[in-house]
Amino acid sequence: MTTVKLLLAEDEDAIRESIQKYISAHTKVISEIYAAENGGQALDMIMRYRPEIMLMDIQMPLKSGLEVMREAIAAGVCPKTVILSGHDQFSYAQQALRLGAVDYLLKPCRAAEILEKLETLAREVCSAAEASAPKQDEGGKRVHSIVEKALTFMKEHYPENLTLPLVAEKTGVSPNYLSALFGKNVNMGFTDKLNEIRIERACDYFAAGGMRTYEVAYKVGFNDEKYFSSVFKKLKGASPSEYKKQL
């Protein structure tokens, strides 16, 4: 079954932890759960992990649930969202529905009801992904699996100090073999692909707005703003400042 990732964004520790524990113990279709305790962290996790579905509180520190949705929508990466709302936050829930949230739940809410709604979304994601997946023979499936595993790791850990040997180790193959697979199946080397991933994530942050160039550079794994700007211009044909003006 297709991997489905969930982001749980809730600032109340007891609620967040109990929901995460219940879903982990009872889900049949959600493979990964990421937990955010404020809106800023939620947006970073959306950018980094690309969850397909999200359960999010409306009122959170740093950024509200509405702000998270607006910025994720601007970046084109907003997951299918179920809103958790207090009774006095109903107008906020209505705004979230207008932004594209697929449903809302009023607190307090039973964990079983939350899981039922999230698994319905997860199955929709699985069905859509499986319907569009290309058919491959066994050898092709194995190569595809290795490449996808490497790319998924890179896309989730791009802010870190990634190297070819490290990604190869996490993927379960030798660095030379992974390098060869990249050349044949990704049509570029490991470093070029990593830079591409980082610059694409930088573009998402620029589209979301509110961050300076050096902040975005650091967020996506560059320690040198000048080098970041150089790579950005090479891949996008414009400097970060020029790119932001074009948005």
Q: Which residues contact 15 (CB under 8 A, 6 or more apart)?
A: 107
Task: Among 10-19, 125-134, 154-163, 187-196, name the one with the lowest average pLDDT.
Answer: 125-134
Q: In this predicted model, what pLDDT tens digit does every residue of 197-210 receive, in sequence order?
A: 999 999 999 999 98
> Which of the listed residues 132, 166, 185 is the one where a domain comes to its end?
132
> Which of the listed residues 81, 100, 132 is the one where a domain comes to its end?
132
Angle at 2 between CA 144 and CA 41, to 5 degrees: 100
> What's the pLDDT score for residue 129?
85
CB 10 within 8 A of CB 135: no
Distance CA 30, CA 142 (A): 23
What domain range is 188 assigned to?
Answer: 136-247
Q: Which residues contact 154 (CB under 8 A, 6 or more apart)?
A: 162, 167, 193, 194, 197
Q: At residue 111, does pLDDT exceed 60? A: yes
CB 156 within 8 A of CB 48: yes
Q: At residue 245, does pLDDT exceed 90? A: yes
Q: In this predicted model, what pLDDT tens digit does every residue of 181-193 receive, in sequence order?
A: 999 999 999 999 9
Q: At residue 247, does pLDDT exceed 90? A: no
Same domain flag for 162 and 91: no
- At residue 56, what is the residue type? M
Give the pLDDT band (50/70/90) at residue 106: confident
Same domain flag for 14 and 87: yes
Same domain flag for 145 and 116: no
Same domain flag for 247 and 143: yes
Same domain flag for 27 and 112: yes
Place of tokens 């996490």: 170
Same domain flag for 176 and 240: yes
Q: What is the pTM of this model?
A: 0.88
